[in-house]
Structure 1
Amino acid sequence: MAVPPAAHGSMSRRLLPLALIFVAVGISTSFVGPYLALFLSDAVHAGPVKTTVFLVVAPLSGVAISWLVGRLSDRRPIRRKLLIAGALAGFAGAAATAFVRDYWVLFALTVTLTALAGTLFPQTFAYARQVLQQGDPKRAAMGISSLRTLFSVAWVAGPPLAALILADWGFTYTYGLAAVMYVVVALIVLRFLPEVGRPAGPTEPTAVVAAPEAGRLTIMLLVAGFTVVQTAQVLGVQAMPLFVSDELGGSVRDAGLILGLCAAIEIPLMLGFGMLSTRLPLRALIVFGVVCGLAYQAIATVAGSIWVLAAAQLLNAAFIAAVGGLSITYMQDLLPAHPGRATTMITNTFPIGQILAAPAFGLAQQFGFRLAYGLNLALCVLGLALILLARPRRRNVPGVPEDALVPGTV
């Protein structure tokens, strides 16, 4: 059935503010995230133990609060209120961090206000999903990929800009500007985004009848698979500067150029995968992306020169674009009545991957940074196996035809 022009107009009026929110959130997080360890070391004067504890507890607290908020958001029509709460928490946390230099006060701010601000990312995706479902559900993956691309663009521009501000004015201004971005988000939500209803359950009249929810085992296998491949992505970025300098005889500048090349290729590929998702199954595109990741890690493991590693960034970018751009929509398709929980499960795989990558990085420091890519190759094989095992099955749900399939699988 064709979507009425009025519905298209209403959807566009909501997607433009959402796009601005993703840019603002991307700028705020990219201003402070890459320099957190430097902030703890130079501004707070925290020792190695305190810094390590902070860097581990911060993502763990974010995972825990995002999970709780994600479950709450699907039970009541309060997603708009949660977006406002997350933005205000981000403003308060960043504004306080701009001036506070006491380690334990900052620790308390991080596990409460900053962790709550972290819910903006998954909750905005969940809001976008509900808006897109009201318009043209078949183009949901393309819409989500486009919004995810804007976040990536903000992260390409944010860290270099933050470095300039940091060099001239210090951490007070970088955190202050991050706080301003959260105010912008709150104002956009208040002015332009109405509340959306609670997602329809699989037996409710407004639900998509051909979209029964996937079983718990399928979801657990997928979350494990995505966590494993995210760990490989994180470890690959962490090891790149030292791998290039220690193993390939290059410089830190060479490593930066390679990482920048990957980011530049990743953005159009993410949009391309979004367009392909209107014609091809999401599952097939994600599997293709993980296979590209597997091939990249194999090439990196045996690479003998910088140009080989640079040429292989096309595979790495396809890996990141497919998993990063499509996994959110795929999980939302499998849990259509729980977009908040589905999005949170996927976005939480990144901070968990950061934590899991830490001991692997330690091994690479001990035995050589080429080992990091050998470990990544094994992780990609494991991740691919888990994702292939997690094939959604037909489920007999009351009011749903027995031959109905979970979307995104055919």
Structure 2
Amino acid sequence: MHPTKTGGLRIFMDGSVTRLAAATAMIGVGGAMVVPTVSLFLSDVIGATPLMIGAFVAGRAVAEISADLGVGVLSDRLGNRRLVLAVCSVFAAAGALSYFTLRDYWLLLVCSAVFFGLGGTTFPQLYAYTREFAEARDHPVTFFSSTLRSVTSLAWILGPPLAFGLIAAVGFGNMYLVAAALYLGGALICFWGLPDVSRRKAPAVVDGPGAAAVEAGAPGAVATEVRAPAPVGSPFAGLTPKVKALLVVIVLLITVNCMYAIDIALFITKDLGFDAGFTGLVLGLASALEVPAMVYIGAKADRLGHWRVIMGAALCATLFFCLLPLATTKLALLLLQIPNALWTAVAMSIPVTVLQDSMPDRPGVASSLYSSAFKTGIFLGGILTGLIAQWVGFTNVFWACAALSAAALLSMLLRRKA
């Protein structure tokens, strides 16, 4: 007997959903404090060049890609995803503590790759756990996943302004100490506050002439062969051309999102001459707009069509990055956060649902494939941002973002035509 299907914000009346949202929020705020401040931290405190900053981000991304795929396969076999979430969150806390204590570039690079490499798997595992939770409680999967993903966007409303405010008040080190405490709080909730929604062992598959009769419950029916589903070890096994095409689009869109995240603080403070606090306001506004967009699009995506929605996001990203280099006033930057929020709301929520739908028996692997494509985008974004900023400046990074967004849109149009 299944629980009553619920929708809308009534799902938060469930205490387990509230704790899941709290863990997502704490881990999300921690990430929203670390990610947008790293480039400024490396530039102002460590004395890194743009190329070194790009290499730093790329090195961490390579470690996270390897960890994502390994942890994704392992988590599906273990079943207890709560333990995986808690351990990964502890590693993320260790990464933030390394930023608190260390000031050598190369030592920071190694510690960031190791600790955040494993800690970065927290989010794909949260996606997988959210999927399993929705199915166990009979919630609409796309809406539920998008709603929980919007909690991360809410975290990004608070995180960047809080981070830059703490930097101004108590410095980078103490700000990263606060981020570490948030990661640890999320780990505690994951381990002790979330219910076990792991899937039960899949039933045996019946083959042979008697299979149909056995399914129908016919008396005296005998199956000629009973076999369990074959375990899949490789995360890339069984991927369809459509899934592979989607992974390419994800890589391109996340590449430009990473380039934006690395470059925006440097663009605002170095090229435009505005203060760091305004950077926090810009990032916070984008996330504030992203939340209602994500919830609305998540509720309508099944009717509109997932691929159509993703194509619209690629078009919106192209327009945004064409206009961003031309923005020289605070008002223009703030207004441009509207298209920024729209395309980001789609790119950060809908593709993972499409992948999970394509691999219903492997939610951990599906989420890890998404996260690995995500981290591949971060790797490429780090390298490209470092090279472009080093050679032609921070502003011109956004023209490259526009070209990559257009390439994502073109690849989807070609696939649709084919």
**TM-score (normalised: structure 1):** 0.78
**Superposed CA offset, 1:179-210 (max 9, x none):** 22222122212322233334777986999xxx
Match of 2:70 in 1: 68
Q: 1:110 aligns with which of 109, 112, 131?
A: 112
8 Å contact from structure 1 (residues 15, 128) kept in 2: no
Q: CA 1:296 to 1:30, structure 2 compared with 1: closer, same or farther past 3 Å?
A: closer
Counterpart CA distance in 2 for 1:156 and 1:339 is: 28
Bigger Cα displacement from structure 2, 307-316 vs 323-332: 307-316
Match of 1:321 in 2: 345
Match of 2:363 in 1: 339
**1:7-406 aligned within 5 A:** 12-40=14-42, 53-95=55-97, 97-101=99-103, 103=105, 105-136=107-138, 139-198=140-199, 215-238=239-262, 251=274, 259-277=283-301, 279-300=303-324, 311-358=335-382, 360-361=384-385, 362-363=387-388, 366-367=391-392, 371-388=396-413
8 Å contact from structure 1 (residues 98, 171) kept in 2: yes
1:33 counterpart letter in structure 2 = V
8 Å contact from structure 2 (residues 53, 382) kept in 1: no
Shift of 1:176: 2.3
8 Å contact from structure 1 (residues 214, 335) kept in 2: no
**Aligned with 2:31: secondary structure?**
helix
8 Å contact from structure 2 (residues 317, 340) kept in 1: yes
**Superposed CA offset, 1:288-342 (max 9, x none):** 2223223334455777987666545433321111111212212111111121121
Shift of 1:38: 4.3
8 Å contact from structure 2 (residues 55, 383) kept in 1: no
8 Å contact from structure 1 (residues 225, 383) kept in 2: yes
8 Å contact from structure 1 (residues 74, 198) kept in 2: no
1:233 counterpart letter in structure 2 = N
Counterpart CA distance in 2 for 1:354 and 1:263 is: 19
2:409 counterpart letter in structure 1 = L
For structure 2, the residue ranges without an aligned partner over 5 or more in a row are 207-227, 230-236
Bigger Cα displacement from structure 2, 260-269 vs 110-119: 260-269
Structure of greater relative contact order (alpha carbons < 8 Å, 6+ residues apart)? 2
Q: CA 1:80 to 1:303, structure 2 compared with 1: closer, same or farther past 3 Å?
A: closer
- Between the two proteins, what is the percent identity of the paired residues? 29
8 Å contact from structure 1 (residues 202, 337) kept in 2: no
Shift of 1:97: 4.5
8 Å contact from structure 1 (residues 74, 337) kept in 2: no
Shift of 1:250: 8.2
Shift of 1:102: 5.1
**Aligned Cα root-mean-square deviation (Å):** 4.0
Counterpart CA distance in 2 for 1:83 and 1:255 is: 31
Q: CA 1:64 to 1:13, structure 2 compared with 1: closer, same or farther past 3 Å?
A: same
Q: How many residues align?
A: 385
8 Å contact from structure 1 (residues 14, 131) kept in 2: no
**Aligned with 1:4: secondary structure?**
coil
Counterpart CA distance in 2 for 1:351 and 1:368 is: 24
Q: CA 1:200 to 1:329, structure 2 compared with 1: closer, same or farther past 3 Å?
A: farther
8 Å contact from structure 2 (residues 33, 160) kept in 1: yes
Bigger Cα displacement from structure 2, 298-307 vs 183-192: 298-307
**TM-score (normalised: structure 2):** 0.76
For structure 1, the residue ranges without an aligned partner over 5 or more in a row are 208-212, 394-410
8 Å contact from structure 2 (residues 5, 138) kept in 1: no
**Aligned with 1:195: secondary structure?**
coil
8 Å contact from structure 1 (residues 250, 306) kept in 2: no
Shift of 1:364: 6.1
Match of 1:402 in 2: none
1:376 counterpart letter in structure 2 = C
**Aligned with 2:348: secondary structure?**
helix
